[in-house]
Structure 1
């Protein structure tokens, strides 16, 4: 995560502070930027990513917020004096290793950020995020593919990722704008990387859902003629759970699988 993030940071402007990338160990699907270059992505969101290009799109989006100081502006307006107090707590937490203070800061600030930065700021972060990802050589459609996955998931349950909430109910329009941007980049340069295999290898064994549920992400190889229903029955004991695998892998339930294709599934740790 840090390697991809730092690669994108080198291509962002302005760089008036150092960036720090952290994974939060929670099943919630979210990513956000706190003032001062602290960017967080949750374990839950990582499980729905399928390539390094998608990760670059998400981190680039958050770097865009940080570089444009969207979080600082919003938190100052909404929290006022409390924001200064939280800033002092954050300094103490990062300097002295006080995990309790850091948890208070993240909780208080993230509650505001979850409300979204506003439509215009999200659109600006979309543009910057895709620009940074493309400059780093990643395919511009990474973020588009991921937003489509969230769009499908939105129909099943509430999405907490601020980039989605802030644009609601215009999510479809926003995804269309991202698609137009991606096509524009691809028309000028087509040699982009996605690094899907490398990324999925890193996800293998990642905790899925609540920790008490004792489930992990497992990467399996599709055999010739196999379907998501076949893999769901073989690895999860129920072919109906193919819809879950479709969401995890950014596919349709009836998507044809290529022989040797890496598929994320869910397995018990026992």
Structure 2
């Protein structure tokens, strides 16, 4: 069944969380976004408002609403809550415990790009209600969502989650809980090799990206994609995959150096490209 819940919670109002809220609002849901403090909440409101205004300018009809709050208790009674905080296991554990505390009835989706759903489920009293919902940046226009199934995810939740994705007008792929899932594992592997090529002077960043755009029909090259995702995010994922899958995912020194220098990509103004 292709439909989204009438009400959805999103815990975390950053670029990804704001985009997820946007997508559900466009699909007609009443969305409650939870942020940690007033400053973060204000920034989230501005981010969401700008995104919705841009969508309206393009003729997109938004039939739902988005409210940003700082009290997680506002999630009480909401049937679906999506966790969208940074890729830090301890942080996600604390957020998942808080969601279960204030909304014990809710099904929970974790927007993780690489962390184990089984590991995250350890934070919950009822791990059967957790499923991975890996959205892609920018969420409003991306077409894919990875539905990641943990060992203890309730079987019926898989089809329910696929229905949510279809209701958002996106395509779901279903993958088991394995390091990097499908998309991150492949995407990071290509990006790391592109960085090694740049490090070795094989070609410029622009030419490496052009090879993938024109030769393989990628919409954006792997180095520019890394700039968009964030070099720090890619480094964290690569280190996690290295620990799980071995040295083929070892981050190149070039990536470590750029992160140490604060060259994080688009969000900092400089990465493999100047923004």
TM category (shorter chain) comes to: under 0.3
More helix by share: 1
Higher RCO (CA-CA < 8 Å; seq separation 6+): 1
Provide the TM-score with structure 2 as the length reference.
0.27
